[in-house]
Every structure is written in structure tokens, then in C-alpha cells.
């Protein structure tokens, strides 16, 4: 299975239905009003549109339900307003006005409010439904957060506040219960504006303030007029609690605490916990300044200072745990806080790559990301060459602003077909429905028409939620060859309207570098076909583009990706080289993407990382660049950074199926099996036929030692289609091998191999031959194992096949068969083949009894690439040398990196059956150390294999356990 299935290039109490506590729901309204809202029957439909699914909990304003919006086919949170609030005309008027205001806040870190509606006298609010738990429940569960995670959480809250404050909306009731954390680490703020609507009635309800006194700012407690700085004081209290696990103003009562914060300064965080960096402690301290003038004046200032600190450290949590950022080498002090700021020259500690952080990059990072959907142009010219040509060109031209990302038009058409069967055109109206469903900020709609003398190009940008026109630009040209440059000028003006400071009407920032409209048309058609999975059709269009314009480098890159997805690596590399020959004619963005794609295809992770990091540095909202940077980290086996960048990519487009699936796979390889399963479930909700999601889910279930669950998942995979059935057969064999059911594998795989050969799928047949070889090897049937491995390499010469076959040869004592594989791998310049060449040499030495030579060769292998197998083999070598302590250390690493054992060659081809051997060998190491845990590990190994076939390793484990 090819990894490049991960295609390179390619508010109120809502929610606590996953991991949260119902108590959080009660706490997060206006402070614990008793709810006497009418109870709604499950299955009831309100306003002919909202079908009640389940009760989520009770809040200060009323009951909260999960409902299905039947019109837009999405889940929403529906809050029924308490009758005494709903019947008060003044409250209702204020409520409605606040909702109108709060609805303008559209940001990924803010739960959106949709509408205030009524049905049969029942007033209710609808809002975004999000699964997660509130911050108070999360901290109660996991304890105080690491500095990195606390900073990442606060950064996201700040970005939500920044967006709200920009619209003139103040929260007034910010607290951990009003902050939701999803399982993927995304943080959202809820309840903007609603607290004010209830509070402004000055109702004298007993205990109405008890839930919020501990987070009030001094000016709010004194009844003064508030602005955004009040929210920032509250933010400081929350930040303090995340870092220390305790409140900053300890007192006998909430009132006493409130008095203290009005007259005293908080104890600096660094005095409570000296491990917290001083600069972070200073940020908290400045948030908690009692005097407004001494406090931070905006959320933007906090973001700037935290981002500066992040840039000076190797890791920071942005959307979940940690992600790599460039490390600062020069710093400047900040007024009163001593916070560092990024300087021009930034060094990436992880990659050794230098970047120039220019003015436009800083501006881009301070601009909140904008997502756009370009609908189908209205082609009034009657000329087919404009069909599906202007839309992708406009999308790329708009992405000339680093903070703008375009939503996949192919995906938009699929959603349109689901929403309105038979629809082939996505116009403005349908585009807005799709954008609302997918969380897209703007919809761009355009037209082109021809008069007697001119072509007129017109593009309009509208807010997806409100329909307000944000920008409206048009231009006319005399000849159709001038249409693409004219479209770029229109895009430049729209980018400037949206806040791009470097746009100008004459800029040619980013469009397809094509010599003719016809070539651009063919390229666009190729992209469309490729995104739809029609690879043969895509190849034809890309080839046509190169014939019309032989200098069009991106067309060759398109061909390269098609060949890669067809498994034709040589043809892919050839076309990438043709694209690279045409770099001089490309824009910066095209060059980054082309070189980065080439390095990913050739598995040159270091170079790919350099290109993608530079791309993301210049275009921070380029979701494909971020996703490919994650892939580059993955190829370097830095699973944590791969996971973090993968999560960041789906922050921009949460419903991008391939990228979300990658996040699940990265979590699997990182050993975060529960997280992986959660991501894959989301993928399958979005696309139930996405085969790779079943593979990731099943392997993660096996990683949790749930072979029955894994088998059920793989059987579901088998029901999809013939290709999925072949994949499932190999995965089910891995489950059987994991459990020690070797005879079952030997009996069942030959039929699956025969089906692969008949389908001319030699690669899949080869992988199954290797699984067959492992079964024979486990039973001590070495000649049959060698025969299976020999058949495998006749079917496929791919590196993973050759390496796995070499390991079987070495273990079976067929040294003559291993040496040609070692020589073949050694000829390659990439780190992985070099590493595996030495690893096979080391295994050969180990199996022939030359342990010192084995260790030397394995250490050489590790210097090329730190693979999971090298630690496994080193552990076995140290055991053979009676080095129990050293062996224990190596096997501990194997256990810590268990996720990598799911697919040893990073291609999703299942290999987790090797993992139980780690328990067996580490038990032997523990035995050598006279550790009582040896028995536990032998028992764990035996428990996995107890229903399997008798074999030498199982027999030895039983013997040692009895002893």
C-alpha cells in the first residue's frame, strides 16, 4: 500500500458528548440558574428543521440538546431558553441584538452561534456542535498542563478573543467551563455576548454570580464600563491555573479573592513553579495587572509575545501537543514583560535550515486565516476553453496572499451532489450552503462575457454566513490571451480588500505559469480529474498541457503525481525532473511545491522539509504545504512533529479526508492508538469507503491488544471492493500472526495470493508471500520460509519487499540469498536503503554468531536512519552478548515506539505481528537482571499467543515462566 495515498500536494454549553462531564454544562451558562425549560422528546422536530437527537445537559439559560439540521445536513447544539427569559420582551430584544453581534464572530477558535428561533412558543438558539470537554474538566482529569500545552491552549483562546474583540464583542464571562477542548487539541471559546444579555437585566437571582466571581476582573467587580482588557485579565487567571494548578488569588471565599485581585498583585508564576520560563510568567503577570493602562491592551499583543517565545523554543503546542518552530538566535526585551521577539534571521533547530523572516511574513502571520470557495464561473462567451479554467486559476491567484487558502472544488462538487442530487453547477447560492456547512469564510463567484470588442471578467466575494458583499471587482481585455493576467489583477484587488498589504493591481504574485489559455485549461482539467481519482484521464490532460506549452513545469509535476499514485516511481521521478528543469519559469510558490513534491516522492525527507518549511514560512495558511511538511517529518520518523503539523493542516480544512486520515496515521505511528482510532472514525463518517482509514483503525486496535476488534474492522474493509479485499487479507494475516495462528495464515493466504496474481497486483501478492514466510519461520520451517521470500522478490523489487525477504533469508540461514539484497540497497543514496543495507548485514552477523560485528554494523545502520528494527536487533544482539541492561534499554525503546511496529516500512503494510516478540525478548533481559517483572512480561507474551499454534518461542516462554 503506497503511503502517497497521503497525496503530497495534496456558543454556549455545546457539546460535551465525548470525554466531558455533564457538570461542565451546568457551569458554563450564566452561572448555574436552575433550568425549567420544557423537556423536548427525542425525535421531535422543531421549526420543521431541527430534529432532536439527544439531551446534552442543563445550563444556566436552559436545556441543551444535540439536534440534526435537516436542511443543511449537519449536527447543531440547540439550547431551549428558559421561559422566564424568553417571555421578557426587553431581555429577548437584547438577546437578539447580542446574537446578531456574536454571529459576526467567525473564527476556528470560537463556537459559532447560528440563529434564534421559535416553535410553538419555545424559544431556542442554534449553534455549532463540537465534541470535546471543557477546560475545567480536562485539567481536573490530567492535572496542570506542561508549559508548551498551556501556551498552545492560551494562544488559541487569544485568537478567538482577538476575532471577537475586532467585532466589538466582549465575552464578560470567560472561564474554563466556557472553553472547549476537542480530542485533537483544538480549543474553542463559547458564550460570547450571551452573558451580557442575561446579566444586563439586573435580575436578583440568588447565587447568580457564584460561578463567575473567581474569574472577574477588578473593573467588572466594581461595575465599571468594560472593554476587551477585562477579558484579558480573566485570561491571565486561567493561564495561571493551567501552569500552576491553583488560582492566583488564594482566599477563604470568592468575595475575598475578588477583593485581593482589586488591591494586590498576584504572586508571579515563576515563584510558584520555578520550571516555568520567566518570559511566560511575565506574560501572565502582565495580564493580571490591576490597572488597565499597565495591562496588555489587546489579545494581539499577547499572541505576539507568546509567538515570539514559541519561535525561540524548539516546540510549542498550537492545536494540540507540540510542533516544531524555528529557534530564535537574537532577542529584544519587551516593555515591562521581558518577552523575546523574533529577529530577522531564524534558525530551525530541527532541520538546520535558515529562513529570512521578512516583513510580509510577519504581516501574514498576524492576519487571521481566511478560507475561500470559488464557485463555478458563469461562462457567457460560448467558448469552451473557459470552462473549468478560470476557477482554479482564481483559487491559486487568491492564495498569493499567505493567509488565504482555497477549499477543494472537487470536494465542493461532491457535497453539492449530496445536498441537491443531479446538481452539476455550484453557483453562489449553493456555494454559500456548502461554505456554511464546511466552515468556509468567503464564497467567490465570477463570470466572463464577450462583447463585440472585449472580454469582461467579473468576480464578487461574499461572506458565506451573511451574504454581505466583501469585494466586487471587474476588468475587461481585448483578447482572450489576456484573460488570465486580467483575472490575476482582479484577484490582487480582492486580496488587498481582504487585508493583503503586498497586493497591487499589477502584481503577478501567483497564477499558473502557462504560455496560453488552452494550456491552462488542460492543466485545470487534469487537476479536476486527478482529484476525482480519474488518473488516466488526468494523465491525458496533463500531457496535452505539455504539448501545448512544453515549458509548463507544473503540468509535468501533475504527471509525476499521477504516476506516483499509480505506483510507477521511475516515471514519476522522470516527470518531476522535467518539471525541475522549468523552475525558472515558475513563481516562488510553484517552485516550493515542485521541489518539495519531488523530494517527498524520492523520500529525501531532509530536502523535502527544507522546501516545505520555506513554503509554510512564506505562506503560513498553505494547508498542502503544512500537510507535506508533516509528511517530511514522518519520513524522518519524527512522529510527534508529523502529528502536530498534520493537525495544523486540518485546522484550516477540518473535513479534508486525506489530510485528516494522515493525522490518524501519524497518531498511530506515534503510538497514540486511541487518538488514531478517533481520527479514523471521523474520516469514515466523512467518507465510509475510504479504505486507508480502516487500515489505520484496525492496526491501532491491534496496537491496543484488541485483535478481535481489529479483525472486525478488517472484515468491514474487505466488503468495500476487490482492492480493499486484498488489503484486508494481508491485514487479517497480520492479526493471525500476532496471535500465533500460523497454520491459519498458511492455509488462507495462498488463495488471496492467487487472486492478486490474477488481478496483476504483484506488489500485494509479494507482501502476502512475506507474511507466509514469517508464518513458516515461526514454526521453524525454514526451507518453506525461504521459498516464500524468494517468490516475493520475484514478484516485486520494491525496497520494503527486498528488506523483509532479506530478514527471512538471514533468520533461515540463507546467507547467499541475503548478500545480493544488501548490495542492491547499498547502491542507493537515500538514508533508509543505506540503513537497511547495514541492518541486514548486522542480522546476518548475528545469526552466524558474530555478535560484536553485529553490534558494530547495527550502530552504523542507526547512524543512517533510526529505524524501529535497529533497536529490536540491537536488543537481540545484546542479549546474545549477555548484556541484559543494554538489551532492556533497546527493547524499552521498541515498546515506547510501538506505533512504528504497526507498519515497519512506513507504508501501512501491516507488520505488528512482530511486536509480541519484544515482550518475549525483554522478559529475557529482565530475567538476566533478576527483575520480578520478567514473569509479567512472559505472561503477557503467552496471553497473546495462548490460542495460537505451538512454536519454539512460545514453548520457551512457558518453560522460562515455570522456572
Residues with active-site annotation: 173
* Phi-psi group of 439: left, alpha or beta (phi > 0 → left; psi -120 to 50 → alpha; rest → beta): left
- Which of 633-658 are b and which e, b meaning 16 or more Cβ less than 10 Å from the residue's Cβ? bbbbbbbbbbbbbbbbbbbbbbbbbb
Half-sphere CA count of 291, side-chain side, radius 13 A: 2
| DSSP H helix total and E strand total for the chain | 42, 20
Query: Measured between alpha carbons, how far is 714 from 632 in angstroms, rounded to an integer?
Result: 28
- CA–chain centroid gap for 380, Å, is 40
Q: Are 112 and 102 in contact (CB under 8 A)?
A: no
Q: Which of 773, 752, 788 is nearest to 911 (CA)?
A: 773
- CA–chain centroid gap for 559, Å, is 27
Cell, residue 316: 510549542
Q: Which three-class secondary structure state does DSSP give residue 59? A: coil
Query: Measured between alpha carbons, how far is 792 from 805 in angstroms, rounded to an integer?
Result: 7
- In angstroms, what CA-CA distances link 253 with 236, 257, 330, 342, 759? 20, 6, 45, 42, 74
Backbone angles phi, psi at 404, to 5 degrees: -105, 135
- In angstroms, what CA-CA distances link 741 with 716, 809, 910? 21, 22, 16
Cell, residue 42: 427525542
Cite the DSSP H helix spans in 420-471. 428-438
Residue 142 CB-density burial (10 A; 0-12 exposed, 13-18 middle, 19+ buried): exposed
Contacts of 3 (CB under 8 A, 6+ apart): 906, 907, 908
Q: Kindly give the pairing relationship between strand 122-128 and strand 74-80.
A: antiparallel
Q: Are 377 and 392 in contact (CB under 8 A)?
A: no
Which helix H or strand E contains 66, and what residues bound it?
strand 63-69
Q: Are 5 and 71 in contact (CB under 8 A)?
A: no
For residue 302, the tally of other CB atoms under 10 A from its CB is: 28
Tell me how many degrees the CA angle 73-74-79 measures, rounded to the nearest 5. Answer: 125
Q: Are 437 and 73 in contact (CB under 8 A)?
A: yes
**E strands in 815-918:** none
Which helix H or strand E contains 512, and what residues bound it?
none
Query: Measured between alpha carbons, how far is 880 from 570 in angstroms, rounded to an integer?
Result: 42
Q: Are 498 and 404 in contact (CB under 8 A)?
A: yes
Please state the three-class secondary structure of 889-939 as a single string: HHHHHHHHCHHHHHHCCCCCCCCHHHHHHHHHHHHHHHHHCCCCHHHHHHH
Q: Are 516 and 545 in contact (CB under 8 A)?
A: no
Q: Which of 664, 649, 567, 578 is nearest to 616 (CA)?
A: 649
Cell, residue 956: 520457551
Backbone angles phi, psi at 923, to 5 degrees: -60, -40
Which helix H or strand E contains 750, and what residues bound it?
helix 742-758
What are the DSSP calls for 547-585, one per residue? HH-TT-HHHHHHHHHHHHHTT-HHHHHHHHHHHHTTGGG
Q: Which three-class secondary structure state does DSSP give residue 113? A: strand
Backbone angles phi, psi at 169, to 5 degrees: -100, 125
Amino acid at each position: 500500500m503506497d503511503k502517497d495515498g497521503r497525496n503530497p500536494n495534496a456558543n454556549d454549553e455545546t457539546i460535551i458528548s465525548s470525554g466531558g462531564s455533564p457538570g461542565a454544562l451546568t457551569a458554563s451558562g450564566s452561572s448555574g440558574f436552575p433550568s425549567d425549560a420544557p423537556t423536548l422528546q427525542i425525535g421531535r422536530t422543531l421549526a420543521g428543521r431541527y430534529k432532536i437527537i439527544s439531551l446534552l445537559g442543563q445550563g444556566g439559560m436552559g436545556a441543551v440538546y444535540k439536534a440534526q439540521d435537516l436542511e443543511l445536513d449537519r449536527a447543531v447544539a440547540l439550547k431551549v431558553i428558559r421561559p422566564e427569559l424568553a417571555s421578557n420582551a426587553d431581555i429577548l430584544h437584547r438577546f437578539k441584538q447580542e446574537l446578531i453581534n456574536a454571529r459576526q464572530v467567525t473564527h476556528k477558535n470560537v463556537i459559532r452561534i447560528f440563529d434564534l428561533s421559535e416553535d410553538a412558543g419555545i424559544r431556542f438558539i442554534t449553534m455549532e456542535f463540537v465534541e470535546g470537554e471543557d477546560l475545567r474538566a480536562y485539567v481536573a482529569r490530567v492535572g496542570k498542563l506542561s508549559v508548551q500545552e498551556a501556551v498552545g491552549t492560551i494562544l488559541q483562546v487569544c485568537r478567538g478573543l482577538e476575532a471577537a474583540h475586532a467585532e466589538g464583542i466582549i465575552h464578560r464571562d470567560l472561564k474554563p467551563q466556557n472553553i472547549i477542548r476537542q480530542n485533537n487539541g483544538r480549543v474553542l471559546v463559547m458564550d460570547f455576548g450571551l452573558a451580557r444579555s442575561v446579566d444586563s437585566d439586573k435580575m436578583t437571582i440568588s447565587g447568580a454570580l457564584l460561578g463567575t466571581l473567581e474569574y472577574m476582573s477588578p473593573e467588572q467587580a466594581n461595575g465599571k464600563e468594560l472593554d476587551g482588557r477585562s477579558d484579558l485579565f480573566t485570561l491571565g487567571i486561567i493561564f495561571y491555573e493551567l501552569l500552576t494548578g491553583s488560582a492566583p488569588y488564594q482566599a477563604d471565599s470568592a468575595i475575598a479573592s475578588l477583593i485581593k485581585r482589586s488591591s494586590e498583585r498576584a504572586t508571579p508564576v515563576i515563584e510558584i513553579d520555578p520550571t516555568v520560563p520567566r518570559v511566560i510568567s511575565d506574560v501572565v503577570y502582565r495580564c493580571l495587572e490591576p490597572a488597565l493602562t499597565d495591562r496588555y491592551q489587546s489579545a494581539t499583543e499577547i499572541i505576539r509575545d507568546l509567538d515570539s517565545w514559541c519561535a525561540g523554543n524548539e516546540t510549542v503546542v498550537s492545536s494540540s501537543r507540540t510542533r516544531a518552530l524555528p529557534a530564535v538566535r537574537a532577542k529584544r526585551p519587551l516593555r515591562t514583560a521581558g518577552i523575546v521577539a523574533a529577529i530577522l534571521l531564524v534558525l530551525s533547530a530541527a532541520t538546520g535550515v535558515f529562513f529570512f523572516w521578512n516583513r510580509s511574513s510577519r504581516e501574514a502571520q498576524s492576519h487571521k486565516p481566511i478560507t475561500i470557495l470559488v464557485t463555478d464561473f458563469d461562462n457567457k462567451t460560448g467558448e469552451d476553453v473557459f470552462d473549468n479554467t478560470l476557477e482554479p486559476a482564481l483559487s491559486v491567484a487568491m492564495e498569493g496572499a499567505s493567509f488565504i487558502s482555497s477549499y477543494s472544488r472537487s470536494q465542493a462538487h461532491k457535497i453539492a451532489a449530496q445536498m441537491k442530487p443531479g446538481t452539476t453547477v455550484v453557483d453562489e447560492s449553493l456555494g454559500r450552503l456548502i461554505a456554511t456547512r464546511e466552515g468556509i469564510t468567503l464564497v467567490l463567484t465570477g463570470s466572463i462575457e464577450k462583447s463585440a470588442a472585449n472580454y469582461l471578467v467579473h468576480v464578487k466575494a461574499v461572506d458565506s454566513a451573511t451574504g454581505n458583499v466583501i469585494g466586487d471587482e471587474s476588468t475587461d481585455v481585448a483578447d482572450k490571451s489576456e484573460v488570465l493576467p486580467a483575472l490575476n489583477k482582479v484577484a490582487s484587488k480582492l486580496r488587498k480588500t481582504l487585508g493583503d498589504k503586498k497586493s497591487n493591481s499589477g502584481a503577478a504574485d501567483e497564477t499558473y505559469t502557462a504560455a496560453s489559455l488552452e494550456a491552462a485549461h488542460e492543466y485545470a482539467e487534469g487537476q479536476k480529474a486527478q482529484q476525482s481519482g480519474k488518473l488516466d484521464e488526468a494523465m491525458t490532460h496533463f500531457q496535452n498541457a505539455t504539448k501545448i506549452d512544453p515549458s509548463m513545469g507544473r503540468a509535468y509535476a501533475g504527471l509525476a503525481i499521477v504516476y506516483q499514485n499509480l505506483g510507477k516511481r521511475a516515471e514519476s521521478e522522470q516527470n518531476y525532473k522535467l518539471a525541475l528543469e522549468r523552475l525558472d519559469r515558475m513563481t516562488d510558490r510553484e517552485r516550493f511545491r515542485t521541489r518539495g513534491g519531488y523530494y517527498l516522492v524520492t523520500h529525501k525527507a531532509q530536502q523535502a522539509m527544507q522546501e516545505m518549511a520555506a513554503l509554510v514560512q512564506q505562506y503560513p495558511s498553505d494547508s498542502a504545504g503544512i500537510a507535506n511538511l508533516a509528511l517530511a517529518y514522518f519520513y524522518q520518523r519524527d512522529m510527534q512533529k508529523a502529528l502536530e503539523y498534520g493537525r495544523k493542516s486540518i485546522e484550516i480544512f477540518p473535513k479534508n479526508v486525506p489530510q485528516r486520515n494522515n493525522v490518524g496515521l501519524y497518531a498511530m505511528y506515534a503510538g497514540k492508538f486511541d487518538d488514531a482510532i478517533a481520527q479514523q472514525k471521523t474520516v469514515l463518517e466523512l467518507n465510509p469507503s475510504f479504505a486507508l482509514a480502516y487500515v489505520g483503525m484496525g492496526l491501532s486496535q491491534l496496537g491496543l491488544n484488541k485483535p478481535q476488534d481489529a479483525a472486525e474492522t478488517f472484515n468491514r474493509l474487505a466488503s468495500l471492493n476487490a482492492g480493499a479485499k486484498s488489503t484486508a487479507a494481508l491485514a487479517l494475516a497480520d492479526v493471525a500472526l500476532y496471535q500465533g495462528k500460523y497454520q491459519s495464515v498458511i492455509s488462507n493466504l495462498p488463495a488471496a495470493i492467487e487472486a492478486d496474481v490474477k488481478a496483476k497486483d504483484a506488489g500485494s501478492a509479494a507482501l502476502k508471500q512475506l507474511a507466509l514466510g514469517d508464518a513458516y519461520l515461526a514454526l521453524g520451517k525454514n526451507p518453506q520460509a525461504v521459498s516464500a521470500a524468494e517468490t516475493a522478490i520475484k514478484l516485486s523489487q520494491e525496497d520494503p519487499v527486498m528488506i523483509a525477504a532479506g530478514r527471512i533469508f538471514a533468520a533461515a540461514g540463507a546467507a547467499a540469498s541475503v548478500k545480493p539484497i544488501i548490495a542492491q540497497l547499498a547502491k542507493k543514496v537515500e538514508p533508509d536503503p543505506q540503513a537497511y543495507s547495514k541492518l541486514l548485514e548486522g542480522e546476518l552477523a548475528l545469526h552466524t554468531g558474530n555478535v560484536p560485528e553485529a553490534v558494530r554494523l547495527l550502530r552504523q545502520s542507526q547512524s543512517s536512519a533510526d529505524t524501529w528494527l535497529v533497536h529490536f536487533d540491537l536488543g537481540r544482539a545484546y542479549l546474545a552478548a549477555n548484556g541484559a541492561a543494554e538489551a532492556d534499554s533497546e527493547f524499552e525503546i521498541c515498546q515506547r515506539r510501538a506505533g512504528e511496529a504497526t507498519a515497519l516500512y512506513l507504508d501501512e503494510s501491516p507488520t505488528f505481528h512482530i511486536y509480541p516478540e519484544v515482550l518475549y525478548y525483554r522478559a529475557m533481559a529482565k530475567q538476566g537482571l533478576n527483575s520480578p517483572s520478567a514473569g509479567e512480561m512472559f505472561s503477557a507474551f503467552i496471553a497473546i499467543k495462548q490460542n495460537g499454534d505451538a512454536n519454539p518461542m512460545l514453548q520457551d516462554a512457558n518453560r522460562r515462566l515455570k522456572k
